């Protein structure tokens, strides 16, 4: 686990990243940007052929970004600014401190206008919800109902539904669907075909997977795969 004293941005120029904090897990597909506040203990994993970029922000700019972990879609301007700031050749191009400060300001201005993406899966605190979460992390294709999962841990469906709503701000089925999409992104990054991904993540057929994926990601799995950058240099 890592805990940075400075706020920073983590960008997936290629591939998929997962960032785990005490508040939950953020999935960061290509062209998405994760925001990690200062002092937030976390660790990250790379999936597939990944190009990860990290940029630290001064406190004066960080206050304009949310005080909690978040994921944003990177605009073309954000992407170019980040690749310039983090690329191996930025010093060769003569970017001085003032120029880099201006680029960071552009980043924050863009993020200030961006909408957070529904790519943060909150981590339950209740022991009963944690037991269900651990089971589904390991078995994302499990289609057992909440009542069935509850019977295995000695808790009623009504109690569990209330806990999901109160602790996580979503229903069990919304949470499970988001977890499955996270797992699907990892499998897509490893070049599994869409039919395999659909069944491995618990959907009965590819069309229902495509509909759920599109609802969360804003694009189909096929378009997402073909639009992901492959080779990035700056």
Q: What is the pLDDT of residues 121-145, one digit of tens each?
A: 888 999 999 999 999 999 999 999 9
Q: Which residue has the higher pLDDT, 60 or 146?
A: 146
Domain count, the chain: 2
Same domain, 47 and 101: yes
Same domain, 170 and 219: yes
Helix (H) or strand (E) holding 161: helix 157-163
Range 56-81 average pLDDT: 85
Do 36 and 42 meet the contact criterion of CB atoms below 8 Å apart?
Answer: yes
Residue 3 lies in a domain: no
Tens digits of residue pLDDT in 151-173: 999 999 999 999 999 999 999 99
Neighbours of 40 (CB within 10 A): 19
Same domain, 96 and 142: no
Q: Is the pLDDT of residue 180 over 80?
A: yes
Q: What is the rounded average pLDDT for all residues in the chain?
A: 86
Same domain, 153 and 99: no
Residue range of the domain that includes 43: 8-113
Residue 232 lies in a domain: no
Q: Which of 19-28, 71-80, 187-196, 201-210 has the lowest mean pLDDT?
A: 19-28
Tens digits of residue pLDDT in 73-98: 888 899 999 988 888 655 555 567 88
Structure token digits, residue 62: 């960080």
Residue 137 lies in a domain: yes
Helix (H) or strand (E) holding 117: none
């Amino acid at each position: 686990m890592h805990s940075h004293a400075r706020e920073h941005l983590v960008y997936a120029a290629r591939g998929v990243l997962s960032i785990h904090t005490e508040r939950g897990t953020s999935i960061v597909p290509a062209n998405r940007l994760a925001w990690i506040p200062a002092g937030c203990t976390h660790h990250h994993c790379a999936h597939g052929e990944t190009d990860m970029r990290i940029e630290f922000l001064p406190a004066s700019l960080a206050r304009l970004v949310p005080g909690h972990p978040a994921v944003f879609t990177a605009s073309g301007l954000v992407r170019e600014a980040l690749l310039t700031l983090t690329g191996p050749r930025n010093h060769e191009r003569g970017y001085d401190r003032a120029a880099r400060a201006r680029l960071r300001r552009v980043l924050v201005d863009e993020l200030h206008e961006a909408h957070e993406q529904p790519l943060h899966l909150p981590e339950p605190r209740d022991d009963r919800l944690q037991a269900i979460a651990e089971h589904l992390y390991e078995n994302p294709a499990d289609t057992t109902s909440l009542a069935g999962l509850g019977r295995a841990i000695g808790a009623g469906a009504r109690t569990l539904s209330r806990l999901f709503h109160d602790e996580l701000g979503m229903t069990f089925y919304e949470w499970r669907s988001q977890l499955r999409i996270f797992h699907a992104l990892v499998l897509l990054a490893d070049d599994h075909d869409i039919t395999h991904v659909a069944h491995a993540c618990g959907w009965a057929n590819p069309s229902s997977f495509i509909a759920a994926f599109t609802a969360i990601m804003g694009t189909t799995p096929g378009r997402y795969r073909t639009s992901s950058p492959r080779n990035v240099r700056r």
